[in-house]
Chain A
Amino acid sequence: MSAPLRRCPALVRVRLVALMAVREALHLRLVPLFAALALAPVAAVFWLRGFNFGTAEWKFIVDFGHGALGAGGLLLAVLATVQTVSGDGEHRTAQMLLSRALTPAEFLAGKLTGLLALLTWFAAAVALVLVALLRWRAGDASDALAVALAGIGLIWLKLTVTVALTLLIASYARSALFAAGAALLLVMLAHLRHLVGPGADWTRAWLLVLPDFQLFDPERLVGLAGRARALLLLGSAAYAAAYVTLYTALAAWLFKRREH
């Protein structure tokens, strides 16, 4: 254990809860799902190798990889978060943990850290498969590779917001079923938020409660040069960080007030 960790008992507790969240998520048989989703593009390209997409082939592979990460990652983010947070509440495991030095905020911070680590591995696995595929099928297309990886970065940011949003709902919900249903509904609404037309009506302020997931669409990277791409990524990271901070703070507040 590193020296800063030893000096800060709260960080030790957050790390312990994070490790336990990862172990629990892995135990939930999410690993096979994780592997299947990461390998799906490989299988698909083998199946489609008789076709020649010409110059558009790299785009097809990238879109497929992004799709696998986006869909699988969202399900993983929602289900793993609900299971590790609501499950502890429903089974009274949280009571045993929270009667110790562990505070509700540390408990949630640990869960968030563990789940983000899990999603990072998931995104890294998909990225590895994607890079290998692009090298194999599209040759030395370094710009295509950069766009593909930046797209994975954008999707990873969306997944971090999804975890924080689900954490917020699970901190309030009384059942895992409600938490999962509500989180999936809100994730869907976040994807549709950009469809609401422009206007200065004050009711539009309510829309700010939900992030606009369209801002994490990898298509936005297409045609951007290196610097513009980096700026877009930075802006998206700041946008995601704002929502993750807001949702996690609200979740900690709700969880503290919750009657265990």
Chain B
Amino acid sequence: MSPPPVPTAAVTLTGVCKEFRPSWRRPPVRALDALTLSIPAGQIFGLIGPNGSGKSTALKIVAGLLSPTAGECRVFGDAAGSAGAKARLGFLPEAPHFPRFLTAREFLLYCGELSGLAGGELAGRADELLAWAGLAGAAERATGTFSKGMAQRLGVAQAVVHAPDVVLLDEPASGLDPVGVRGLTRLIRGLKQDGRTVVLTSHFLPQIEEVCDRVALLHEGRLLREGAVGEFVGPAGGRLERFYLDQFGGSAS
């Protein structure tokens, strides 16, 4: 009997360190410390941890927006930040801001053109994504008038306009009401159904527990634990939030 196929890694981080130097007089701050992770293709992967644990830094390194001080990061084998890696990535930063004067449709067309799409293909893709994100009725509205939930959904739509294989979402649920979280969760699940790999950071642990296949717990730039969500919550069906609070102190109540 042949061994079960090893899942392809969409993203790998190997011994990644990242130091920031706030000013030349101050010592550098280590945001990531020898982080090694392998994110399987086609899964939803959650990065959780307290503020300052290095989640957003890790995502920005994968997106090619930051260079690691040491170690390496690859996206389907291409070095992060390279043209090959960028073509396969979509990124939603935390609290995204769109040019206020652009309509949702114009912004998607702009992002699509920057990613190499054009003409009828792009126009069709933009309309399809606006409908998918529940923004068809607001397609011609200026993004400056959008609610937080609408802006986040538009943010997810711009991240996938060029149909990337990997979608990076930094705190997508931040500031959303329960209805907004529900809508966003639907979108994230849809991305997985389309065969994409999703990596998201969030402090909203029920959402992580609900949508993620695997989770990595970071603390002070180091990987504390990584595994399937079931390994964190236990066979008795505990809550991820309970595990998190046990790790970092505090009470579930």
User: How many pairs, one residue from A and one from B, have CB atoms within 8 Å of each other in the complex?
Assistant: 71
Contact call B87/A99, Cβ cutoff below 8 A = no
A249 within 8 A of B: no
Contact call A99/B65, Cβ cutoff below 8 A = yes
Mark each residue of chain B from 97 to 108: 1 if its CB lies under 8 Å from any CB of chain A, else 0.
Answer: 111111000000
A-B contact pairs, 11 of them (CB 8 A): A13-B114, A16-B113, A27-B99, A27-B101, A92-B97, A93-B97, A96-B158, A97-B114, A98-B64, A99-B63, A259-B66
Q: A227 — which chain B residues lie within 8 A by C-beta?
A: none
Q: A9 — which chain B residues lie within 8 A by C-beta?
A: 116
Which residues of A pack against B, CB within 8 Å?
9, 12-13, 16-17, 20, 23-24, 27, 91-93, 95-102, 259-260
Contact call B93/A92, Cβ cutoff below 8 A = yes
Give Cα A24–Cα B106 distance, bound, in whole angstroms: 13
Known contacts A17-B114, A98-B64; 17 additional CB pairs below 8 A are A16-B110, A20-B99, A23-B99, A23-B102, A27-B101, A92-B93, A93-B96, A93-B99, A95-B91, A96-B92, A99-B63, A99-B89, A99-B90, A99-B91, A101-B116, A259-B65, A260-B65
B83 within 8 A of A: yes
Contact call A95/B93, Cβ cutoff below 8 A = yes
B196 within 8 A of A: no
B20 within 8 A of A: yes
Chain B contacts with A in 105-151, Cβ cutoff 8 A: 110-111, 113-116
Q: A98 — which chain B residues lie within 8 A by C-beta?
A: 64-65
Query: Shortest CB–CB separation between residue B57 and chain A, in angstroms?
Result: 9
Q: B168 — which chain A residues lie within 8 A by C-beta?
A: 99
Q: A13 — which chain B residues lie within 8 A by C-beta?
A: 113-114
